[in-house]
Amino acid sequence: MKLSTIVSFIILCLNLSCAKNKSRAPEIKYIELGDPMQMVEGATLQKSFSSPKQFQKELQNFSLGAVQIFLEEREESEIDTDIYAFNFQNVVQESQYQFEDSKDFQIEIFNDKLIWTQKQDQLGNIIFEIQSDNSLKATHMIYEGNILPLETLHSSLKDDFSAMTLLVSVDWTSTKKALIYFYYQRNDYSPYKKTFKNYNYLNPEDKSQKIRWKNPQNIKLQLCGPKIQKYRKHNERAVQDWNKLSQVNGTPFWIDLSIKIYDYPPFSDLNTQCIYLVEDYKTRGPEVKNFGTTFIPSNYNTGTIVDADIVFYQSELQKSFPNMNGINSNGESFDYVFKVVATHELGHFLGLGHQFDGEKSIMSYKHSFLHPYDEEAIVELYKD
């Protein structure tokens, strides 16, 4: 069954460094129609870091891993290339080798302000203010000498202090708002694990590098929020398909899917893995269809998946079902397609990259269920 014309997936790899002296800007592009705040609708937000001393100490050890920007667009229009360039070209990631003798960020403290800056003219430079309850809250970003006010929506520190995120909202222009997701990671390094077989994992610079969950025997994943619950069965079946491969091969990975209707964090939170549904947030034009996104902040220096969350876009899915009869142009039902997309996104969630080399795989856009390639790739990833 051909899904290529109706399925477009985006995988977000949040760390782009892997080779010496190589730096590049993130390939992260996200300009959508609608209000980007829908990405965090209903989530429980934590606006400041509650243990400033511990956090302050950790700040010195972090580097900027990536930036993701969701820009509000009210109508179909030409992409504003100036804004686009501003987003991405200046975010440069240092290589793993440079981490050892360089501290990317410096901290200065003035009165109640903590100024945390990396290199000039780069995104990711933040001013924190110490709040009356002694928590630490990001209030401004510094870019090209300008101090821009921001509103912190969520602050998250990985429970082992290996990474942190800030989710903020800024006035991008006088009429547009942006939701910005900053991801920082600690400058750790561990030996590079490769597979010499022809499987594609998460690192686009070296697809053979193994990047995986640290404790894969019990990977918690939750259906977060009331909206996604109507697609519970689709996700459960997709999870079962992957877990079956674990059972059959005795490979130590397992997705433990549960439900969390209330009191759930946004996708930027590093300590909870969720599946979300965003109802009305679209990419431009009827031909582009992005049914789902898996956000995978991964540390290529340590070969670990730090966190992963899956977002489904309902209005994108509905682009393929215009006749309201539940059947798309390939004769497939909405339920069927949703499950296929869920299975694909769970492949990313577990650590698989795209498979566009002609192999039959759920990680291509052409196939609808798990193939031997998928089984072998996942077993290889977790077998030792």
Site of interaction with Zn ion (CB under 5 A):
9, 11
Q: Which is nearer to Zn ion, 181 or 365 (CB)?
A: 365
- Single out the residue of 283, 282, 281, 259 nearest to residue 272, CA to CA: 259
Q: How far is the CB of 142 from Zn ion (least distance, A)?
A: 34
The dihedral built from the CA positions of residue 101, 102, 103 and 106, taken in this order, carries a sign that is: positive
Q: In angstroms, what is the minimal distance from the CB of 363 to Zn ion?
A: 7
Residue closer to Zn ion by CB (options 172, 291) is: 291
Given its phi and psi angles, is residue 59 left (phi above 0), alpha (psi -120 to 50 degrees) or beta?
alpha
Closest to Zn ion by CB, 11 or 308? 11
Least Cβ distance, residue 373 to Zn ion (angstroms): 15
Nearer of residues 306 and 341 to Zn ion, judged by Cβ: 341
By DSSP bridging, strand 8-13 and strand 290-296 are: parallel
Nearer to Zn ion, 39 or 352 (CB): 352
CB of 307 to Zn ion, least distance (A): 17
Cα–Cα–Cα angle for 181, 319, 314, rounded to 5 degrees: 45
Structure tokens that stand for 75 in this block: 């109508």
Structure tokens at 220: 């918690």
> Among 193, 186, 188, 228, which Cα is nearest to 208's?
193
Question: To the nearest whole angstrom, how small is the minimum distance from the Cβ of residue 133 to Zn ion?
Answer: 42
Question: Cβ closer to Zn ion: 9 or 172?
Answer: 9
Beta strands 309-313 and 274-278, pairing class: parallel
Q: Would you say 172 or 349 has its CB closer to Zn ion?
A: 349
- Residue 295 CB, shortest distance to Zn ion, in Å, is 12
* Residue 53 CA: distances (Å) to CA of 47, 50, 57, 114: 17, 9, 6, 12
Minimum separation from the CB atom of position 345 to Zn ion (A): 7
Any idea what the Cα angle at residue 294 is, between residues 291 and 300, rounded to 5°?
A: 150
> What are the helix and strand counts (H, E) for the chain?
6, 18
**29-47 per-residue burial string, b: 16 or more CB within 10 A, e: under 16:** ebbbbbbbebbbeebeebe
Q: Which is nearer to Zn ion, 153 or 340 (CB)?
A: 340
The vertex-23 CA angle with 18 and 27, nearest 5°, equals 90
CB nearest Zn ion: which residue? 9
What gap in Å lies between CA 164 and CA 125, rounded to an integer?
Answer: 14
Measure the CA–CA gap between 135 and 149, rounded to whole angstroms. 18
In the complex, the smallest distance separating the C-beta of residue 238 from Zn ion, rounded to whole angstroms, is 13
Nearest CB to Zn ion, comparing residues 63 and 355 = 355
Helix, strand, coil percentages in the chain from 3-state DSSP, rounded to 5 = 20, 30, 50
Least CB distance to Zn ion at residue 365 (A):
8
Find the shortest distance in angstroms from Cβ 348 to Zn ion.
Answer: 6
Nearer to Zn ion, 7 or 18 (CB): 7
Contacts of 382 (CB under 8 A, 6+ apart): 212, 216, 251, 252, 253
